[in-house]
Amino acid sequence: MPQERGFHVAVVGATGAVGQQMIQTLENRDFPISKLSLLSSARSAGKKAVYKGQEITVEEATPESFEGVDIALFSAGGSVSKALAPEAVKRGAIVVDNTSAFRMDENVPLVVPEVNASDLHNHNGIIANPNCSTIQMVVALEPLSQKFGLKKVIVSTYQAVSGAGAAAVAELNDQTRAILDGKEAEPKILPVGSGEKHYQIAFNAIPQIDKFEENGFTFEEMKMINETKKIMHLPELQVAATCVRLPVGTGHSESVYFEIDAEGISAEEVKSLVGDAPGVVLQDNPSEQLYPMPAYCVGKNDVFVGRIRKDLDNENGFHMWVVSDNLLKGAAWNSVQIAETLIDLGLVK
């Protein structure tokens, strides 16, 4: 990345689970920053965060906060993005938004750099970062789509609680300890904070992430379905998803069945292709019990793929297991990676 100049970067939602990872990722990547503004809701303003050893006070995000900002990374919820992202753009910033607010907007590129970086050229100030569970799946599917064509995807997810925020992680830990101690622990957050009912997540699996749509799918499932088609430029792709929350802190896993548009392809060919793809680490050797797992992917930017095998009935069908850190490639790293790509492409004014 050319580092001729530094940029004024703002992180909106700096105190949240993803915001914290964004700050850390900017530091790890030695992102070219001339000034870093950490912003949040009024409730969290005044808290402090550390960037490269320096304490920075988090300020309340207002329209004026974005004066002079070059790049604003948003991850403070859809309503904050809807209210403030246009204000940031108005003031000359380019926004990378990690909420669902603009993802399906025709005028907003929805980008996973390994898949559709060229869509960035068509931005109008806002670039949407896809849903965590979508990102890791399309990184693994893209090389197959490019080489063979992709016809059908059926995914069942195994998602970590950090996708629901830091409070959900605390709920999992506190509830788990209470249950081990034989105590009661009233669920208050999961599966959906604003929902009417809350269920135990410790030692459980909850087949609901986000609210239900009229068609019986959840919003999370529809995000995976619609975002996958948009990112991969495959409006006709058949995609179905079942999204499930697990008692895992960080690291989403996915059991993915897919059908390619080619016959006679072996599992070894698929392994080789996926393993060579950008952003992918292949962990696939059954004889050595090598496959990806969420507990071992935390803190890494890669998408880990394993358990690749050919379907026993369908000549075009394959199965695979895809794991990634949902706070990094699923959120913070993909957002920072979009920002880096924007700079590389000369798209930041």
Binding residues for substrate: 159, 245
CB closer to a second copy out of 77 and 317: 317
Q: Is residue 228 a contact partner of residue 144, using CB atoms and an 8 Å limit? A: no
Q: Is residue 126 a contact partner of residue 144, using CB atoms and an 8 Å limit? A: no
**HSE (CB half, 13 Å, CA atoms) of 321?**
15
CB closer to a second copy out of 322 and 332: 322
Q: Dihedrals φ, ψ of 179, to 5°?
A: -65, -40
Least gap, CB of 2 to a second copy (angstroms): 41
In 210-251, where do the E strands start and end? Answer: 238-242
Cα distances (angstroms) measured from residue 217 to each of 102, 194, 220? 20, 18, 8
CB closer to a second copy out of 42 and 295: 295
Write the DSSP symbol of residue 18: H
Residues annotated within the binding site for NADP(+) are 15-18, 43-44, 162-163, 326
- Footprint of a second copy on this chain (CB under 8 A)? 152, 154, 156, 158, 173, 176-177, 180, 191, 195-197, 199-200, 202-208, 212, 215-217, 225, 238-240, 242, 244, 246-249, 251, 253, 255, 257, 267, 286-289, 291-296, 306-314, 317, 319, 321
d(CA 199, CA 216): 19
Q: Is residue 26 a contact partner of residue 51, using CB atoms and an 8 Å limit? A: yes
Catalytic residue among 8, 121, 123, 132: 132
CB closer to a second copy out of 38 and 239: 239
Query: Is 243 part of the annotated catalytic residue set?
Result: no
d(CA 56, CA 133): 31
Least gap, CB of 252 to a second copy (angstroms): 10
Least gap, CB of 265 to a second copy (angstroms): 14
Query: Is 121 part of the annotated catalytic residue set?
Result: no
Least gap, CB of 220 to a second copy (angstroms): 13
**Active-site annotation, residues:** 132, 252
